[in-house]
């Protein structure tokens, strides 16, 4: 993987880890978003755990690209769900970060797939 891919992976990992950790820790802004999206607490924690694990998977993917591809695909699917949740409550403005993270995850998956071939 080239340096741009490594840097993007690192940035994306930090973003997902922070987002997941905020959900797991019950940070006020995260709880407010959960309530606005009408997501139950247990599901919010599962999403947070998946984000943290996905962030770790992206980093592991730097050494084992198959793991990185799986993590990036999983995170992309989470972002599809996030965009749907925002759309469901007519909160389109907050769907933009999820869309950016989705695009970034797809880029990482594509780069890492290329590294496995």
pLDDT, tens digit, 9 for 90 and up, residues 58-105: 999 999 999 999 999 999 999 999 999 999 999 888 889 999 999 999
Residue 65 CB burial class (10 angstroms; 0-12, 13-18, ≥19) = buried
CA distance 45 to 31: 11
CA distance 112 to 107: 9
pLDDT, tens digit, 9 for 90 and up, residues 13-34: 999 999 999 999 999 999 999 9
CA distance 83 to 92: 8
């Amino acid at each position: 993987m080239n340096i741009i891919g490594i840097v993007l992976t690192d940035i994306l990992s930090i973003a997902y880890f922070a987002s997941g950790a905020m959900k797991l820790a019950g940070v006020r802004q995260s709880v407010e978003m959960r309530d606005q999206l009408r997501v139950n607490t247990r599901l919010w924690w599962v999403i947070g755990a998946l984000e943290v694990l996905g962030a770790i998977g992206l980093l592991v993917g730097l050494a084992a690209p198959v793991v990185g591809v799986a993590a990036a695909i999983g995170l992309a699917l989470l972002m599809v769900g996030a965009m749907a949740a925002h759309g469901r409550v007519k909160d389109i403005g907050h769907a933009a970060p999820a869309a950016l993270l989705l695009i970034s995850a797809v880029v990482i998956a594509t780069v890492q797939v290329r590294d496995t071939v």
